[in-house]
A and B are shown apart, each in its own frame.
Chain A
Amino acid sequence: MRAIPAATVLTFPWRLPAIRGAARARSRSCYGVAMELDAPSGVPLSEVNPNHIVPVTNFSADTLWSIIAHMEVSTDFEHLVYREAELDAIWSITGFFLVTEPNSSQLEAVRQLRAGAHKAHDLVADRRPAEAAVVLRSFL
């Protein structure tokens, strides 16, 4: 696992409060997995395959690095769709964090990451994954 620079204030993993009702169903869905905690980090860098979707279960350094690694080798329409989906998931998770952890010391860092994910998302949508990777790298 890469060392996270001291300037990066994100701490991992973080825990969402349990939500009643649909927890069981959510916990078994792709999106439910994205909301769970303590999930293993993303695909090892040695297994980068742009045809596969990176499991986005948190916004850890490992997950971001995995997305970055996949972005750097993404060229085809399908690859860029998967990268966009991953960035959508990052944007969604960070958005929920901002709502559920308003007193967190990580708040500003997560807000910046969220804005970065949005920017990276738009770059990927514009078929500029290398630039999107640069944007995400700036958070690591």
Chain B
Amino acid sequence: MLSREENELLTQTDVGSPAGKYFRRFWLPALLASEVPTPDCPPVRIRLFGEDLIAFRDTNGQVGLLEEACPHRRASLFWGRNEECGLRCVYHGWKFDVNGICVDIPNEPQEYRLESKVRTVAYPTRVYGGLVWVYMGPPELRPELPKLEWARVPESHRYISKRLQETNYLQAIEGGIDSSHSNFLHASLDAFRLTDSYVEKVKNSDNLRAKYHLLDKAPWFTVKKTDYGLVIAVRRKAEEDRYYWRLTQFLVPSHTIIPYQSGHSIHGHCWVPRDDQSCWVWTMSWNPNAPLSENDWGMIRDETFVHARVDPVTFKSVRNKENNYKVDREQQRTSTMTGIHGFASQDQAIQESMLPIVDRTRERLGTSDTAIIAMRRLLLQEIRELAQAHEPFAAQHADVYWVRSASLLLKRDVEFEEGARDLMKAEV
């Protein structure tokens, strides 16, 4: 469990908060590049860390991210005209470039040169991996972009989705690194009950997850602290002389790479606080070696795995709290644990059911929650160290993010660090 003080320290990320200050030391995804597809296209709203912002792509193709409220009379720049290398407020014509510099104040006498005295809040952006990234920390500490493999593969090898989740970011990360819940939340009833027909179906499967993950519901957990975060290693019994290992990468402040099997696509997430009660869920699927396959695209279209369909304006999930995630109770009764379609919606439903901010003073944790405990302790340590003026190492060392997850079989006397060493190296 956490104390109230610790829970607040971790979950409060708005302006001025210690955790918010920590997150702002990193480049983070802000919006899909396709949300601002062309020069001078309409501006879009985006909320990050409790700040309401406007993104726009100027005439030169550069993306600006400005405070939504015009510094003149606080009118929204969402209604602004994006033209001639700037965004012009339609209330009184004040115009700002991508750096937040005011370049025109037409309603004041020109000889006053008032625009030279006016700036609005603006954050630097970069387009990388199909996303617009933002850095909201001290300008003099601006780092390089993290060397994430999914951001470096060709566009045809990657798919990214974005959705709004109405929870604090922390319980979303916890869902992402907790390996044991998938034995239940994401399971079919046959898998949960280990019916004879299910066991017969998976026992000779090439899919290691299908074969071993669901046959041993009491995995053994271990964690390893790294330069970039954590490796969360979960071991399940396989054949008599082997273990099945699933190695999840947690990369600070809030990225994960889900264990994958060689030859298959890789998946991961990044969670970015929108405010204390909501977060952006970024989900990536990529193949380092080839364009995404028809099978990959099928799973994306059918929402069976990590992606979910969203409203194109709000990015709210089509399956949401208001419609009970379109639960099918008959399906729940007869074939799946939840009756909710797709892993992403199942995760969202259960995480949103925990209330926007989980009261972690009331938890009853066990040793199977080791990964969650480790992640919380790591983030608390980093947040507190930053408060003591110790900068987070990973933020300033982009190369440490160049890793992969893994899942593999190893002989029982082989440590996972040794056995999976080469598999966990990124290549692109």
Contact = CB atoms under 8 A, between A and B. Distances in A.
A29 B3 contact: no
A114 to B, nearest CB: 11
B402 interface: no
B218 A84 contact: no
Interface in B363-387: 363-370, 373-374, 377-378, 381
B217 A28 contact: yes
Given A33-B218, A53-B221, A84 B366 contact: no
Given A81-B223, A125-B377, A30 B368 contact: yes
A28 B193 CA distance: 12
A80 interface: yes
A52 to B, nearest CB: 8
Given A82-B370, A84-B377, A77 B364 contact: no
Contacts of A80: 377
B329 interface: no
Interface in A90-118: 91-92, 95-96
A132 interface: no
B223 A53 contact: no
B377 A86 contact: no
Among A77, A80, A95, A121, find the residue whose CB has the most chain B CB atoms closer than 10 A.
A77
A95 B373 CA distance: 19
Contacts of B219: 30
A53 B224 contact: no
Contacts of B370: 53, 81-82, 85
A92 B373 contact: no
A50 to B, nearest CB: 12
A78 B224 contact: yes
Contacts of B224: 78
Contacts of B363: 88
Interface in A61-83: 76-78, 80-82
B366 A89 contact: yes
A29 B366 CA distance: 10
Contact of B218 (A28, A76, A78, A81): A28
Among B180, B220, B367, find the residue whose CB has the most chain A CB atoms closer than 10 A.
B367
B373 A84 contact: yes
Contacts of B192: 25
B222 interface: yes
Nearest to A121: B1
A56 B366 contact: yes
A92 B367 CA distance: 10
- Dominant secondary structure at the A interface: helix
B367 A32 contact: no
Interface string B337-374: 00000000000000000000000000111111110011
A122 B3 CA distance: 8
A81 B230 CA distance: 12
A29 B221 contact: no
Contacts of A29: 180, 217-218, 368
A55 interface: yes
Given A81-B374, A84-B373, A89 B223 contact: no
B225 interface: yes
Contacts of B373: 81, 84-85, 88
Contacts of B225: 76-78
B305 interface: no
A63 to B, nearest CB: 12
A19 to B, nearest CB: 14
B314 to A, nearest CB: 37
B365 A30 contact: no
A18 to B, nearest CB: 19
A78 B374 contact: yes
Contacts of A55: 367
B283 to A, nearest CB: 27
Contacts of B381: 77
Interface in B1-58: 1, 3, 6
A25 B374 CA distance: 25
A130 to B, nearest CB: 18
B79 interface: no
Interface string B201-221: 000000000000000011111
A29 B224 CA distance: 22
A121 B360 CA distance: 14
B269 to A, nearest CB: 22
B198 interface: no
Interface of A: 25, 28-34, 51, 53-56, 76-78, 80-82, 84-86, 88-89, 91-92, 95-96, 121-122, 125
11 contacts: A29-B180, A30-B219, A30-B368, A55-B367, A77-B374, A77-B377, A80-B377, A81-B223, A82-B367, A82-B370, A91-B365
Given A33-B218, A88-B366, 16 more contacts: A29-B217, A30-B368, A34-B366, A51-B222, A56-B366, A77-B378, A78-B222, A78-B374, A81-B223, A81-B370, A84-B373, A86-B367, A88-B363, A88-B364, A89-B366, A95-B364
Q: Ordered nearest first, which 7 A-B pairs have the shortest CB separation?
A: A30-B368, A31-B366, A88-B365, A92-B364, A81-B374, A85-B367, A85-B370
